[in-house]
Amino acid sequence: MSLSKPTASHNGETADITLKVAAVPFDTQWADVSKNIDSASAILDRIEPDTDIVVFPELFTTGFIVDPQLLDEIAEHCDGRTMLWAAAMARKHDFAIAGSFLARHNGEYLNTAFFIEPSGKATFYDKRHLFCLSPEARLYGQGHNEMPVVSFRGWNVAMIICYDLRFPVWCRNDSQRYDIMLVPANWPTARGFAWHHLLVARAIENQTPWVGADRSGSDDYGDYNGLAEIVDAMGKTVAKPSDDNPAATLYAVFSKNQLERYRGKLPVGADADSFSIIPKSPLSAPRTDMLE
């Protein structure tokens, strides 16, 4: 497979570059890394051909862990079991894989998103906004790296994690530097109204498709079925689970030419205010690594 999938040009347009994304509403088994990796492997073996990016939910190999002893037992380095597995699967299937996992880095436990390419290049993002109503803000370290933007198959791909969705300044697509946003999440149905409308609002204001890869199933914090959703750059839902199969993988194909035409016809980005984020703690560039 080539690094992009151009389609035939017409009417003088540049040949199109499409991007096929999949969101997996994965039913995470709490604290069972082996079982979750086996289940995720089986799903990846069934992903539709020509898919470019597969997005798993937040903490999909462990679920949300708060017990200090268990945290110490399960948390992984960025070249640990989860990432080595993801690198092998991306290479095997020739698509990128994204999600988040329970990480340890510089003496902290972190909720770390990853984007792993078939080449083995991995980009990491530590969750910036920790949910104030749960032990996450007390037990996990806050991310200090910028929201990453990865160039992949002709698209600029950004990623955040779950609660970050509530913060529009953090997500702002300044100078339209990203073309699509990935959002691994564990967002319960009790707050599903907010989840849907925040995805729609973020897509509209940033003129980009958003891929909300929320989990399915349930845990001690609530039920999660039915909230995974993919919306286009106008905020219109293009894929969401059916009531009879809430764990079915969602697919969407986006056109770079269509995205650029839409932005050109409605150039609201040109009228956007210019501002800088002044964080409570310093920000650094996203972390990257090469995994074999």
Active site residue: 76, 162, 240, 256, which one?
162
Tokens of 20: 């096929």
Tokens of 55: 């997005």
Contact between 216 and 25 (Cβ < 8 Å):
yes
Name residue 288's amino acid: T
For residue 245, the Cα-to-chain-centroid distance in whole angstroms is 22
Is there a catalytic annotation at residue 5? no
Active site residue: 20, 76, 127, 229, which one?
127
Q: How far apart are CA 66 and CA 73, in angstroms?
A: 12
Is there a catalytic annotation at residue 236? no
Q: SS3 for the chain, per residue? A: CCCCEECCCCCCCCCCEEEEEEECCCCCCCCCHHHHHHHHHHHHHCCCCCCCEEECCCCCCCCCCCCHHHHHHHCECCCCHHHHHHHHHHHHHCCEEEEEEEEEECCEEEEEEEEECCCCEEEEEECCCCCCCCCHHHHCCCCCECCCEEEECCEEEEECCHHHHHCHHHHCCHHHCCCEEEEEECCCHHHHHHHHHHHHHHHHHHCCCEEEEECCCEECCEECCCCCEEECCCCCEEECCECCECCCCEEEEEEHHHHHHHHHHCCHHHHCCCCCCCCCCCCECCEEEECC
Active site residue: 58, 76, 117, 229, which one?
58
Contact between 162 and 187 (Cβ < 8 Å):
yes
Active-site residue numbers? 58, 127, 162
